[in-house]
Structure 1
Amino acid sequence: MAWEIITVCLDPVDRREIDVALAAAMRPYDRDAPQHPDDEWGGRWDRYRIGWSARIPVVGGYEDDPRLVRGDSSEVMGRGYCDGGPRALLDLGAVRTAAAEAAGREWDEWQQMAAAFPPARPLVHFVESSAEPHDYFGREAWQAYHSQPLLAAVANRYGFTTAPFQRIPNWGDDPVVSFALARVDFMALRAREALATNGLLTRSGEWLDPDLMGRSAPGLAGQLDNLRLRRDYLHFTDLYLMELPPNAVLLHVHIHC
């Protein structure tokens, strides 16, 4: 059991009715509901609350708009942030811009380090040539990947370990692949991944959870497939949220699952 932040999208609703509308949207996924007594995946939560993070930027000039939602237990981030509200009041573009700017700095730092070492091969190269293709942890492939001079230097500099899928923060599933992109493309990639949370509940009532996407192959190769599917989820979420109608409501909801 753990707490996670998900994004819930609702049809236009009066601020005073948001709690009721949210309860109706969440009800089909209540783990304690009669239809999910033994269904581990049908029930997604056993309790929830609006907010906790209050990190959605508010469009300038609307900081005190009564339509904004701020959870009672949310951290104090200042008037410029909230837990949700009508899409038109939420500055999602600012989130994407900040992510892109941070990505540009990361790309510069990586390239500076990479210039001092031979080119590194991506993890998938070692997975495909491994004698242990079905090893869930891919120990052989993982060790070979991290033995490359560039990756060893990264590990030494950032404390990045060789434990399976402990990833460098914000550097994606395989930095060798991600940082091979042009700077502008890498920045765009990170911008498209900035809006997603741990799950998305759409206006139509569909709950998307990247952790429940199936793996298409056994072992470490399957985990790599899953990471690619996760990136698809991130990009879909970005497109979905950016295209929400201005009066649709977007909320960050803290669920216990």
Structure 2
Amino acid sequence: MAKERVTVCLPPCEPAGLQQAIERAMAPYRYEREDMPADWVGEWDHWYVSGAGCEFPVVAGHEGDPRLVREELELSTGPRVLPSGLCDGGPRGLLDLEAARRPAAEQAERNWADWHELAAAHPAAQPFGVFRDRWLADPAGRSHGDVWAEYAAQPVIKALHNQPELRDRVGGEPLDTLGTDRAAYVAREAAAVLPTPALLTLDGTWVGIAGDERRAWFNTYLDALPPEAMVVRVLYHG
């Protein structure tokens, strides 16, 4: 049992009715439902509104809209102080989703350009996956460490390890993780910003979000919601 987040999508509702609307939407996935078979396994036993660490940016000029959701939380460091430009949820039309994605896309563009500038100055290298697959097919008494050493001995990977700031940004296996499609890499990085581990859709479907395809779908789904639909971050124990 651990705490996880779900992004809950709701029909339009007034602030005073938000808790009840979330309760109704979440209810089908509660543990220990008496109307379900004995082997029923739900998703949560308690929950509360919280976007701490994954807040939504607010569309500029609408920071004071009373429909925005800002939960007052007491953190271990004291009362939560939330900037006016962020919220835990609100009408989809007041959430600036692109403002959340844009910095990640810009950073991905920089990562791509800096890595490929470094790579262009060295002989072509092979991704670690090539070394790993070759080893798995024929271990020949070598260890994983031996295989990693072979990969890391390539000139461009040696050069990357001498640039720790870049290595922190692109990781130790950029040939595997950045791929060869710049646009796809940037889109993938941008799509990873908004998703939570689960999404509760307007029609009441609980969808687990894992992997690039589901994260891309999460973004597409939120983008297509009606402007009046409520989107709220919820922290649950499950």
Give the TM bin, normalised by the shorter chain.
0.7 to 0.9
Is 1:25 aligned with 2:6? no
CA contact (8 A) 1:6 1:199 kept: yes
- Residue of structure 2 equivalent to 1:223: none
Between the aligned partners of 2:145 and 2:37, the Cα distance in structure 1 is: 40
The structural deviation recorded for 1:67 is 0.3
> What TM-score, normalized by structure 1, do the two folds share?
0.73
Matches of 1:156 and 1:4, distance apart in 2: 38
Show the counterpart of 1:186. 185
Give the equivalent residue in structure 2 for 1:89. Answer: 94
CA distance in 1, matches of 2:147, 2:9: 39
With over 3 angstroms needed to count, the CA separation of the structure-2 counterparts of 1:52 and 1:190, relative to structure 1, is closer
CA distance in 2, matches of 1:36, 1:132: 46
Is 1:3 aligned to 2:8, yes or no? no
Q: CA deviation at 1:182?
A: 4.6
Q: Partner amino acid for 1:78? A: P
Show the 5 A alignment for 1:1-257.
1-34=1-34, 35=36, 38-39=39-40, 42-53=41-52, 55-73=55-73, 75-126=80-131, 128-131=133-136, 139=144, 143=148, 147=152, 149=154, 150-151=156-157, 154=160, 158=164, 175-210=174-209, 230-257=211-238
Higher relative contact order (CA 8 A, sep 6+): 2
Structure 1 unaligned regions, length at least 5 = 160-167, 212-229
Cα shift at 1:130: 4.2
Change (3 A) 1:175 1:255: farther
3-state secondary structure, aligned to 1:7: strand
CA offset at residue 20 of structure 1? 0.6
* Cα offsets for 1:73-105 (capped at 9, x unmatched): 174231010000100111111112122112112
Q: Distance in 1 between matches of 2:5 and 2:209?
A: 13
Tell me how far apart the structure 1 counterparts of residues 146 and 206 of structure 2 sit (CA, whole Å): 34
AA partner of residue 6 (structure 1): V
User: Residues 156 and 78 from structure 1, CA distance in 2 versus in 1: closer, same or farther, beyond 3 angstroms?
Assistant: same
User: Comparing 181-190 with 56-65, which one deviates more in the overlay?
Assistant: 181-190
Change (3 A) 1:93 1:131: closer
TM-score, length of structure 2 as denominator length: 0.78
Preserved CA contact (<8 Å) 1:9 1:201 = yes
Which blocks of at least 5 consecutive residues in structure 2 are unaligned?
75-79
Measure the CA separation in 2 of the matches of 1:169 and 1:26: 39
AA matched with 1:248: A
**How much does 1:115 deviate?**
3.5
Work out the CA distance in 2 between the residues paired with 1:17 and 1:187: 39
Change (3 A) 1:29 1:66: same
Q: 1:197 to 1:66 in 2, by over 3 A?
A: same
Contact 1:8–1:200 (8 Å) recurs in 2? yes
Identity of aligned residues (%): 35
3-state DSSP class of the match of 1:197?
Answer: coil
SS in 2 for 1:131: helix
Question: How far 1:234 moved relative to its partner?
Answer: 0.5
Q: Residues 166-225 of structure 1, C-alpha deviation per residue, up to 9 Å, x if partnerless? A: xx88759x63244234544432332233221211111111111145xxxxxxxxxxxxxx
C-alpha distance in structure 2 between counterparts of 1:50 and 1:148, whole Å: 49
